[in-house]
């Protein structure tokens, strides 16, 4: 592995070697600024992703728990069992480590563990399973065996309306996308916000206002830009999801037109900014600099590169770009653990499947 020279502004210490390119680290009013050169994106990621999946879930027979219609989330519990939000029957299902169906969890209704809708699923400490109910503005919990373990109502801060997008950082912080409506013209959106919630009580905390311009790029039918904030003025509304990710105890937002990412603390304060210089000509048409964000369980930020492929750059928790890797199959990244990648892959019949690939972080 090559050497990274880390330059610390205002510091007389010698450069630190910890990677493969020159990394400039400065401090601006208490905010850590990390700048990577453009060539950092060309470096191969020193990890290996298996070409073939070791497990595939999904069917096309039109019935059963693996007949996924809207595969929106999946993760493993600590003992290897799989929790899958697949939209089949049942909508939320528990499988054993080898992919055999065990049971469903909850269902539509108003009883214990029941919901109006499920927008996303998350794992808390102790393998508690959390389902976000955006229509009911609630969180529903299930114990590791899939039994209902209580629900909490999510209150909204004044003038901020919670929407669908939800992220849980795995360390007791839930972030839900919200928009602040103008007090005079209620249909005008005056800001893009993330509401911090205490998932134990549902009480709202600090609101993070995401800076940077909104993007105006059309969303493809295959939801290629689903992790970018997209504004379509002609339709008078929002389309797609905002550029944000949570995991490994971190919450990071990004701007669609630049490789600039910001990390926020629990009080809604900015603590760090990570940048990669992307050269542009003065008259060059502005296009998205990335297509999706994902924070894995170890706190590494995965950034999906623009274009038709499934190429990802990986940024370590300190803000250094480790390199890029092209995943062996086109698909949406659902979860990344220490040694496994979970992908949503759509077949030729437009049926989603869950693919699980081994990840080796020790070998390139």
Give 41-52 pLDDT, tens digit per residue. 999 998 999 999
Positive/negative CA dihedral, 277, 278, 279, 280: negative
Residue 248 pLDDT class (50, 70, 90 cuts): confident
Which residues lie closer than 8 Å to 259 by C-beta, 6 or more apart?
Answer: 275, 276, 277, 278, 289, 290, 303
How far is the C-alpha of 178 from the C-alpha of 303, rounded, in Å?
23
Rounded to the nearest integer, the mean pLDDT of the chain is: 76
- What pLDDT sits at residue 307? 76
pLDDT, average across residues 242-266: 79
How far is the C-alpha of 162 from the C-alpha of 155, rounded, in Å?
9
Q: Are the CB atoms for 274 and 197 separated by under 8 Å?
A: no
pLDDT, average across residues 205-209: 64
Q: Are the CB atoms for 66 and 74 separated by under 8 Å?
A: no
- What pLDDT sits at residue 16? 39
Give 112-151 pLDDT, tens digit per residue. 888 888 888 988 888 999 898 888 888 899 999 999 999 9
2-11, 22-31, 333-342: least confident range: 2-11
Tell me how long the chain is.
364
Q: Is the pLDDT of residue 212 over 80?
A: no
Q: Is the pLDDT of residue 217 over 70?
A: no
Name the β-bridge partners of 85.
Answer: 73, 92
- What pLDDT sits at residue 301? 95
CATH domain 5-102+117-360 topology: Neuraminidase (2.120.10)
pLDDT, average across residues 245-249: 82
Q: Is the pLDDT of residue 14 over 90?
A: no
Name the β-bridge partners of 262.
Answer: 253, 273
- What pLDDT sits at residue 331? 87
Q: Is the pLDDT of residue 107 over 80?
A: yes
Q: Is the pLDDT of residue 191 over 60?
A: no
> Ranked by mean pLDDT, which of 1-15, 16-30, 223-237, 329-343 comes out on top?
329-343
| The model's pTM | 0.80
Domain spans of the chain? 5-102+117-360
- The CA-based dihedral angle spanning residues 303, 354, 162, 122, taken in that order and rounded to the nearest 10 degrees: -90
Positive/negative CA dihedral, 248, 223, 268, 317: positive
DSSP of 176-203, one letter per residue? EEEEEEPSSSTTSEEEEEEEEE-TTT--
Q: Are the CB atoms for 337 and 297 separated by under 8 Å?
A: yes
pLDDT, average across residues 172-201: 52
Q: Are the CB atoms for 207 and 160 separated by under 8 Å?
A: yes
Q: How far is residue 348 CA from its own chain's centroid?
A: 26
């Amino acid at each position: 592995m090559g050497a990274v020279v880390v330059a610390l502004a205002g510091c007389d210490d010698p450069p630190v070697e910890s990677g493969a390119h020159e990394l400039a680290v400065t401090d601006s009013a208490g905010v850590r600024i990390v700048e990577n050169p453009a060539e950092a994106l060309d470096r191969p990621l020193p990890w290996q992703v298996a070409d073939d999946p070791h497990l595939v879930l999904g069917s096309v027979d039109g019935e059963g728990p693996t007949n996924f219609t809207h595969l929106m989330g999946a993760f493993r519990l600590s003992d290897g069992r799989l929790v899958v939000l697949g939209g089949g029957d049942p909508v939320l299902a528990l499988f054993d480590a080898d992919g055999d169906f065990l049971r469903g969890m909850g269902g539509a209704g108003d009883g214990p563990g029941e919901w109006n809708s499920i927008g996303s699923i998350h794992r808390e400490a102790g393998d508690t399973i959390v389902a976000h109910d955006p229509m009911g503005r609630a969180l529903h919990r299930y114990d590791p065996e899939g039994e209902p373990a209580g629900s909490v109502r999510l209150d909204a801060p004044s003038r901020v309306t919670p929407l669908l997008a939800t992220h849980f950082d795995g360390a007791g912080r839930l972030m839900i996308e919200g928009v602040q409506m103008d007090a005079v013209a209620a249909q005008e959106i005056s800001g893009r916000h993330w509401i911090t919630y205490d998932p134990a009580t549902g009480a709202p905390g600090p609101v993070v206002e995401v800076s940077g311009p909104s993007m105006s790029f059309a969303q493809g039918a295959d939801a290629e830009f689903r992790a970018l904030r997209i504004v379509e003025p002609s339709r008078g509304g929002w389309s797609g999801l905002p550029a944000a990710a949570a995991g490994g105890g971190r919450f990071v937002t990004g701007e669609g037109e630049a490789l600039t990412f910001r990390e926020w603390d629990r009080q809604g304060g900015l603590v760090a900014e990570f940048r990669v210089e992307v050269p542009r000509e003065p008259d060059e048409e502005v296009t998205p600099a990335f297509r999706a964000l994902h924070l894995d369980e170890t706190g590494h930020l995965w950034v999906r590169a623009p274009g038709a492929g499934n190429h990802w750059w990986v940024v370590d928790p300190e803000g250094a770009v480790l390199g890029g890797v092209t995943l062996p199959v086109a698909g949406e990244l659902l979860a990344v653990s220490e040694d496994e990648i979970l992908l949503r892959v759509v077949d030729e019949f437009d049926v989603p499947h869950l693919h699980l690939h081994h990840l080796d972080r020790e070998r390139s």
